[in-house]
A and B are shown apart, each in its own frame.
Chain A
Amino acid sequence: MEKNIIICGVGGQGILTIARIIVSAAQKEGLSFKQAEIHGMSQRGGAVYVHLRISKGKIYSPIIPEGYADLILSMEPLEALRYLKYLKKNGKIISSIWKLPNISYDEKVVVSELKRLKAILVDLKGIAQKTGNPLAENMALLGSASSYLGLKEENLKDCIRETFISKATLMESNLKAFELGNKST
């Protein structure tokens, strides 16, 4: 078992939370992991990413070597294309279909490029709205990726519960977003 995952988007979209839930679930299964994050300046509305590596064996580099990523999970369609050099030839892209408009670009061109790459495009915003918690888009993305992670779904759900343990309504909406995301792919 070895999974290399890039999680990306724009600062403030909850990317670190996705990563932390995945590594907690990996830990429950006794796997090793490394999660390389970027903090600081780039958080301010800029492009952000996490390199996440999970393995049965020893992991050396915290950064995924180019051409080794199994998955790119993106909260934003343009951002999904920024890290293509890391993706394996047969790697999978799962991305939000909704543009974050703090910069301008042609959405149609980006979406058709993602379709060319056989990306799975998910209506994260629509799912989050259904849960009544617009901030649950990140858990919808995690849900839509769950069958590609090589981790037990129940462990992922437990880790969501642990993350939002302080507020029952948040826990519920985030779990629902995960499930709806899961069903969407």
Chain B
Amino acid sequence: MVFKMKEILLGCEAVALGALHAGISAAFSYPGTPSTEIMEYFLQKKEKYSINAEWCSNEKTAYEAALGVSLAGKRAIVSMKHVGLNVAMDPFVNSAISGIKGGLVIAVADDPGMHSSQNEQDSRYLADFAKIFVFEPADAQEAYNMTFEAFELSERFGLPVMIRLVTRVSHTREAIETRSLKTQNKIDKTMPCKEWVLLPTNARNQFKKLLEKQKDLLIESEKSVFNKTSKKKNSCCAICSGIAFNYFMEVTNGSIPYFKLSTYPMPIKKIKNFSKDFKKIYVFEEGYPFVEEKLCSMLPARKILGKISGAVQRTGELNCEIVKSALGKKIIQNLKASIELPPRPPQPCAGCPHVDLYKALNEAKGSSEIMVFGDIGCYTLGASEPLRAIGSCICMGASVNNARGASIAGAAPSVAIIGDSTFAHSGIPALVEAAKHNNNMVLIILDNGTVAMTGAQETMLSGNSLLQIILGAGVPKERVKFIEPLPQNHELNVSIIKEALSCKGLTVIISKRACIQLLKRR
């Protein structure tokens, strides 16, 4: 027997291939787990499909570049992790007001359970806020199909469309059936005279137009083939969105009537019609109780069981066991180790330059109470034992102005630790402020020449260009110091940091040594 070979792809890669087959001309992104592999796939395939694919400084610039491609008439995709959408919120929300031209799709990967993130926010709320259409795939095949379809809808509505992924869709590998390739759109340089100029007089009209489009979005959702129902006589039913549907099916094999929800705005009529005969409605969804909240207001008289009601665990990642326990099904008695297992948390690689820097910093600080603010990257691991070198990690770029604020509050000198890529992402504006006010703080930039944590992607700012930005921001040359974080330089590095801490005003230390993983690859 001969089987047709399908492509084996991660959910992320399936999104990318769906976009390529839909005829995109460009793709933009900033690395972030669990979305990184979308752009990595584009970078592998960009020559084959004649597209432009680039890592950007941050998610906002990535979104703006994709919007620019769309406004020139061509199709574009921008991908990011959930917290990246916070950074891109401004162009994201306003591109729904301005409208778009070529299909514009935003693929956002949420990380429920926080495998590799600082929160588990749910991107469906942000799409609801921007008033755009959302697809929520349950697996990689749907991720492919929906991405392909999203470009059609985007052009039809003149609005960006979101693909909402979660870790277990992004990072599950499956065999995918694909469609044929569409040709890319031609360039269209026409600019409408008012729509894209969001001055208040124009923006008021555009916002009304966006509200008017909502009924078309709803009609599309009501008729979408991606929403499926099964009807059986039963006292209860389940409404399952995205991957939650797969956990539900694994547990019940469809023995409870279900509504598989894949599109937003939620198809209200269809849901009301489906659920009218059932006393109890279970809601299974990955992330926040978005569907459940809407259902509670749509169907106030019904018993709705989900994360708000307490039937389903509110935090963390969904799984078969949580679905089982909500439905009152038995979980198999498990095997257990009879010994205590020590955890094996992620830790810096052997030979990591960050470790040598932290050792020097810890010694320079000694027992003095200096506040050290950290940031997002491999160096966040320096917060754990045995280093305990940083005391915070909030969001991309936060270290610089956290330290500046603490210094203003009287905790001077304070220290900020940031990597080269995170600095380029959103540390630069904060440095401009620190230089302008000459705040009493030390900014240490760890220049390892790559975006290490997400797998060594290209960095925007390293070496001499990093130095030039620092000088250009107004930091005097004599207040920029250099460290090569190596064990044999330990004493020297301690003295450099000590001196920086004893000087009044801003000192920037560039700690430069290549990522050990990057060296292994070369």
Contact = CB atoms under 8 A, between A and B. Distances in A.
Interface of A: 10-11, 19-20, 23-24, 27, 30, 32-47, 60-63, 65-68, 78-79, 81-82, 84-87, 89, 102-105, 109-110, 113, 116-117
B320 A65 contact: yes
B381 interface: yes
A68 B167 CA distance: 22
B246 A27 contact: no
Contact of A27 (B8, B139, B168): B8
Nearest to B33: A40
A40 B324 CA distance: 29
A36 B455 contact: no
A121 to B, nearest CB: 16
B171 interface: yes
Given A20-B173, A68-B332, A82 B454 contact: no
Contact of B116 (A39, A45, A81): A39
Closest 5 CB pairs of A and B: A67-B332, A40-B33, A40-B116, A46-B346, A61-B250
A12 to B, nearest CB: 8
Nearest to A52: B173
Interface of B: 1, 3, 5-6, 8, 10, 33-34, 36-37, 115-116, 139, 167-168, 171-175, 243, 246-247, 249-251, 319-321, 324, 331-339, 341-349, 378, 381, 453-455
Given A41-B33, A62-B246, A67-B334, 4 more contacts: A41-B346, A44-B347, A45-B344, A61-B249
Contact of B347 (A35, A36, A102): A102
A84 B331 CA distance: 14
Contact of A44 (B332, B339, B378): B378
Given A30-B1, A46-B346, A62-B168, A38 B336 contact: no
Contacts of A41: 33, 115-116, 346, 453
A23 B175 CA distance: 9
B16 to A, nearest CB: 15
A39 B346 contact: no
14 contacts: A27-B175, A34-B139, A36-B171, A37-B10, A39-B36, A45-B344, A46-B344, A62-B168, A63-B247, A65-B250, A85-B334, A89-B335, A113-B338, A113-B339
Contact of A35 (B34, B173, B342, B378): B173
A105 B342 contact: yes
Contacts of B324: 65
B252 to A, nearest CB: 10
B335 A84 contact: yes
A75 B493 CA distance: 39
Interface centre among B6, B173, B348 (most CB of A within 10 A): B173
B115 A38 contact: yes
A40 B246 contact: no
Given A41-B453, A103-B342, A84 B172 contact: no
Contact of B175 (A33, A42, A68, A82): A33
B173 A37 contact: yes
Contacts of B10: 37
Contact of B171 (A30, A38, A81): A38
B348 A40 contact: no
A169 B518 CA distance: 24
A66 B33 contact: no
Contacts of A27: 3, 5-6, 8, 175
B3 A30 contact: yes
A111 B343 CA distance: 17
Given A78-B341, A78-B342, A36 B168 contact: yes
Contacts of B381: 44
A82 to B, nearest CB: 6
A66 B322 CA distance: 11
Contacts of B349: 44-45
B31 to A, nearest CB: 10
B116 to A, nearest CB: 3
A70 to B, nearest CB: 13
A159 B331 CA distance: 36
A2 to B, nearest CB: 12
A102 to B, nearest CB: 7
Q: Kindly name the residue among A78, A85, A109 whose own CB sees the greatest number of chain B CB atoms within 10 A.
A: A85
Contacts of B341: 78, 81-82
Given A24-B8, A41-B33, A102-B344, A109 B339 contact: yes
A35 B174 contact: yes
A99 B174 CA distance: 32
Contact of B34 (A39, A109, A113): A39
Contacts of B243: 62
A104 B342 CA distance: 8
Contacts of A39: 33-34, 36-37, 116, 171, 455
B336 A46 contact: no
Nearest to B352: A44
B345 A46 contact: yes
Contacts of B5: 27
A37 B171 contact: yes
Contacts of A109: 339
A67 B335 CA distance: 8
A48 to B, nearest CB: 9
Contacts of A62: 139, 168, 172, 243, 246
Contacts of A37: 10, 171-173
A113 B168 CA distance: 31
A38 B222 CA distance: 35
Contacts of B331: 66-67
B356 to A, nearest CB: 16
B249 A60 contact: yes
